[in-house]
Structure 1
Amino acid sequence: MAGVRAMVDLGIDHVPNEYLTSICKGITIKAPNNLPIIDLSGIDSDDLKRKSAAEAIHLACQKWGFFQVIGHGISNELMQDIIKMVHHFFNLPAKERMVYYSTDIYKSFRFSTGSIASAKKKFWSDYLCQHCRPAVHEDDVPESIPNYRKITSNYAKAVDELARKLLRIIAQNLGLGWQILEKHLDPPKQTMKMTYYPQCPCPDQAIGIGRHADPGTITVLQQELGVEGLEVNYNGQWIPVKPVEGALVINIADMLQILSNNKYKSAEHQVLVNTKRPRVSIASFYGPTDDKHIAPLEELLGDNPPMFKACLFREYMDSFYKNHLGTRNIETLRILNN
């Protein structure tokens, strides 16, 4: 399978049957309900700025499960470089891309195309997936892309610093010691998914990525400027998340919902496609290693019972990939008598 980009290059004018997907239509909500944008600049040296940012993050985690950040410390140059690099890869001839093709979800670096394994349906997207922690071996990354390893390693390091900063704030917002969540994940597993959504001849008949919530702890997402696609489920309505220059989208994922014993909830999202131009996004998934057991933190339980069963993260990931997207995988762990 050469991917969606290869079909588009051949001039396909319809959506093949295996890509036909029902889509939850987005509903635009006016400004008061827009995804919050939180400024992190100066929070390490200014207590008032830190308090304001922490309060905004707390409210966003409760209300949305999503928020955007600016002043996050990742340079615009680096953000632009990685977007250009992904476009460079997907502009390579299909034969060169296929050298890296794999369906092994645990491989440290691979090119693949989106699919719903259990439904035998495919998404209108291709992607590069790379392990950042533990680091991918340098021999496994593309030699045909200039500065690939330099750009991705610098980007992964910057995301790691941001994720740790956010986890410290979130831990304190939950009434925990500032290092609790960070220590719980140490060492963290960090994976980067660089997705390419080609233009689609009939965007109402296909979807870039179907409805789902991320399985990890938090996700840091960079959207390409100038083209929309991401939508967040808010109270049953799909809200478009417009790309903002210099901003990164942060979302709460399933493991943080479990660790917080449902105080924060992961949010469902999906990605639409369009007829006009391709779109690139960079999702950095930050969470536990495969051998880590996850359960509601005892420090948060008190007299309250746990709302979720403990799980081994590798087993949770296996379950996530086997289940249909469009279902809440976390519900398989919910203790129903609560």
Structure 2
Amino acid sequence: MANQESSESKLVAENGDEIPAEYLEKDGLSEAIDIPDTWKDSLLLDLSLLSSSTPASEPEHVKLRSALSEWGCFQIKNHGIESSFQEELIEVSKQFFALASEEKLKYSASDVFLGYGSDNYGKDGQSNWNYRITLVISPDGKRDLQLWPQKPEKFRGMIDEYSKKLLAMTEVIYKAMAKSLNLEQDCFLNHPATQGAIVGRFGYYPRCPCPERVLGVKPHTDGSTMTIVLGDDQVEGLQIKKDDQWYKVPVNPGVLFVNLGDIGEVMTNGVFKAAVHRVVTNSSKGRISVTGFCIPEKKTHIEPLSELVSLHRPQMFKKLNTDEYWKIYYENYPYGKVRKTIDVFRF
């Protein structure tokens, strides 16, 4: 196993217990609570059932509709990605972040949201306590392989394989979403919101001497249609907000986490919600996560699916231009303005 202690970032090595002001939450963090029974029951879905059209699958589609309507997220099992593959992908990610800084910096990019780096916004924005490498992983033609690490040797091959697994999984989930709403099964797959790329973000959250005041990622919604997260099965970190209360997402080995993003909320005319979430830090252990964001094409116009607009549920969002959306998103994200972006497009 990679020596994760050796990869402790400059965040710890240079600052010790003195944390720069741009990382500190002035009022501390509001408490998150455990709801293990909910995650074991209504928020744990079986992909093998969601991919089925038999009567036995109907309760699972009801659960899916409820989870996305009320929480904007769920955990998923029986998704076809072997635990051994998940463990190896987390391991090679650890090995990458354990490399010398000179090697990792080879994969930096001028685009602050691509390549290797950290979510450091300086004094003008609230910085996140993390390092990450962000890559377009699907489709093949949109990849910038100059940003794909050559070390560890297995990394590129595993990213390629994982992208194919994610692509197959998202197709099943989009079809299941349609079925849960009694819509034609390919209606979401044919929607402009799903005609784009999958962006992979490999994140490392170093141990932090002050987890009660420092976040790995500040509260936000994703600028995606859908997001799939493979998390470290040893360390909790992800938390969800619902009705002004934060809830811990439990570690569940072999299980993936799925949440809807802003674009998914617009696509479904607000029937399904984008999940507000954050990542907390840990005082004794670092944490790895692998996230896949389903992102629509640039210069695409997104509006709610016509079948979800009616007299009883009028159109809730204006037609959204993805370039305009991302401009507003980037302006607000460093300042933790959670719903500012999507609210611009709301009627």
Q: One fold, TM greater than 0.5?
A: yes
Which amino acid in the other structure matches residue 19 of structure 1?
A: Y
Corresponding residue to 1:5 among 6, 9, 28: 9
Which amino acid is 1:8 matched to? V
For residue 163 of structure 1, what is the aligned residue in structure 2?
Answer: 170
Could you say which residue in structure 1 is the equivalent of 2:336? 325
Q: Does 1:129 align with 2:141?
A: no
For 2:50 and 2:125, the matched residues in 1 are separated by 47
1:1-338 equivalences in 2 (<5 Å): 5-10=9-14, 12-22=16-26, 23-34=28-39, 36-41=43-48, 43-44=50-51, 47-105=54-112, 107=114, 110-116=115-121, 119-135=124-140, 136-185=143-192, 187-303=195-311, 304-323=313-332, 324-328=335-339, 329-335=341-347
Contact 1:123–1:210 (8 Å) recurs in 2: yes
Partners in 2 of 1:267 and 1:152 — Cα distance? Answer: 26
Question: Which one-letter code corresponds to 2:97 in the other structure?
Answer: F
3-state secondary structure, aligned to 1:182:
coil
Report SS of the residue matched to 1:84. Answer: helix
Deviates more, 1:113-122 or 1:195-204: 113-122
Give the stretch that moved more between structures: 97-106 or 167-176.
97-106
Aligned residues: 331
Q: How big is the shift at 1:45?
A: 5.1
8 Å Cα contact 1:117/1:321 also seen in 2:
no
Distance in 1 separating the partners of 2:110 and 2:211: 25
**1:295/1:21 Cα in 2 relative to 1: closer, same or farther (>3 Å)?**
same
| TM-score computed with the length of structure 1 as normaliser | 0.91
Amino acid at match of 1:319: I
1:138 is displaced (CA, Å) by: 3.4
Q: State the distance in 2 between where 1:248 and 1:152 align.
A: 16
Runs of 5+ unmatched residues, structure 2: 1-6
* C-alpha distance after superposition, 1:102-123 (max 9, x if no partner): 350465xx10101357942311
The alignment partner of 2:191 has SS state of: helix
Q: Give the residue type in structure 1 aligned to 2:225.
A: T
Cα 1:106–1:225, aligned 2, differ >3 Å: closer, same or farther? closer
Assess if the C-alpha contact under 8 Å between 1:40 and 1:50 holds in 2: no
* Whole-angstrom distance in 2 between the partners of 1:133 and 1:297: 24
The 3-state SS of whatever aligns with 2:189 is: helix
1:195, CA displacement in angstroms? 0.7
TM-score of the pair, normalised by structure 2: 0.89
* Offset at residue 321 of structure 1 (A): 1.2
* Greater Cα shift, 74-83 or 273-282: 74-83
Distance 1:143 1:49 in 2: 46
Rounded to whole Å, the distance in 2 between the matches of 1:119 and 1:261 is 34
Alpha-carbon contact 1:6-1:94 (below 8 Å) kept? no
Question: RMSD of aligned C-alpha atoms?
Answer: 2.1
State the distance in 1 between where 2:62 and 2:239 align. 24
**Identity fraction in percent:** 26
1:27 alignment partner AA:
A
d(CA) in 1 for partners of 2:56, 2:297: 33
Cα-to-partner distance string for 1:280-310 (whole Å, 9 max, x where unaligned): 1111001311122111122211334311111
Q: Structure 1 residues 5 and 106, CA, compared in 2 at 3 Å: closer, same or farther? A: closer
The 3 A distance-change label for structure 1 pair 118 and 68 is farther
Does the aligned pair in 1 maintain the 2:234–2:251 contact within 8 Å?
yes
Please give the secondary structure, in 2, of the residue aligned with 1:302.
coil
CA positional deviation for 1:206: 1.3
Give the C-alpha shift of residue 53 in structure 1.
1.9
Whether contact under 8 Å (2:301, 2:322) holds in the other structure is yes
Q: Which string of whole-angstrom CA distances, capped at 9 and with x for unpartnered residues, describes residues 170-213 of structure 1?
A: 12222321101111145332101111000011112211000101
For the residues of structure 2 that align with 1:179 and 1:117, how far apart are their CA atoms? 44
Deviation of 1:9 after TM superposition, in Å, equals 3.8
SS in 1 for 2:119: strand
Q: Distance in 2 between matches of 1:228 and 1:208?
A: 12
Following superposition, the deviation at residue 28 of structure 1 comes to 1.2
